[in-house]
């Protein structure tokens, strides 16, 4: 893998998914994953998830249960996100990162900068969302 500076940003003039682009997105994805893990560990360590205190007040218990439920849903979303990040990192390794899973076309630097875990180009994403809406209406 090529070394890139801390301030490097992929340029549209460079060959799409050249070694610099791959190094940039690998670094971006790895840092994002570490940040999520750190945040979740802090939430678990400092948060109320493992709070075993039993409140006599039923309203407090219900509120505590709801809070824990919300926290667990958030952590489950983060776990899914980590899985998508790991999938993107594998794609960088096997050379398929940055290309649409449906069409094989480039996803595009701007889209990947905004959503590094994108797996579909904009056209395929729009079609996917339209299809989802059609099925949701049935």
pLDDT in the model for residue 55 = 56
pLDDT in the model for residue 99 = 97
Q: Which residue segments constitute the domains of the chain, with CATH numbers given? A: 14-92 (1.20.120.910), 98-138 (no CATH)
Q: Report the chain's mean pLDDT, rounded to a whole number.
A: 86
CB 103 within 8 A of CB 118: no
pLDDT in the model for residue 64 = 73
pLDDT in the model for residue 115 = 96
pTM of the full structure: 0.76
> How far is Cα 29 from Cα 112, in angstroms, rounded to an integer?
11
pLDDT in the model for residue 117 = 97
Q: Helix 19-46 vs helix 58-94: angle between axes, to the nearest 10 degrees?
A: 160
Place of tokens 């994403």: 125
pLDDT in the model for residue 50 = 46
As to burial, measured by CB atoms within 10 angstroms (0-12 exposed, 13-18 middle, 19+ buried), residue 112 is buried
> How far is Cα 97 from Cα 104, in angstroms, rounded to an integer?
10
Number of Cβ within 10 Å of residue 10's Cβ equals: 22
Q: Which residues of the chain have pLDDT under 70?
A: 1, 43-56, 136-138
């Amino acid at each position: 893998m090529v070394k890139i500076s801390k301030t490097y940003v992929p340029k549209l003039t460079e060959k799409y998914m050249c070694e610099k682009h791959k190094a940039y997105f690998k670094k971006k994805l790895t840092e994002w994953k570490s940040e999520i893990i750190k945040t979740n560990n802090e939430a678990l360590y400092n948060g109320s998830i493992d709070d075993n205190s039993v409140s006599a007040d039923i309203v407090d218990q219900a509120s505590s249960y709801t809070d824990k439920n919300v926290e667990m849903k958030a952590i489950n979303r983060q776990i899914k996100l980590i899985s998508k990040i790991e999938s993107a990192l594998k794609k960088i390794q096997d050379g398929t990162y940055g290309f649409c899973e449906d069409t094989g076309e480039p996803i595009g630097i701007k889209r990947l900068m905004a959503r590094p875990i994108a797996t579909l180009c904009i056209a395929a994403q729009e079609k996917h969302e339209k299809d989802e809406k059609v099925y949701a209406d049935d």
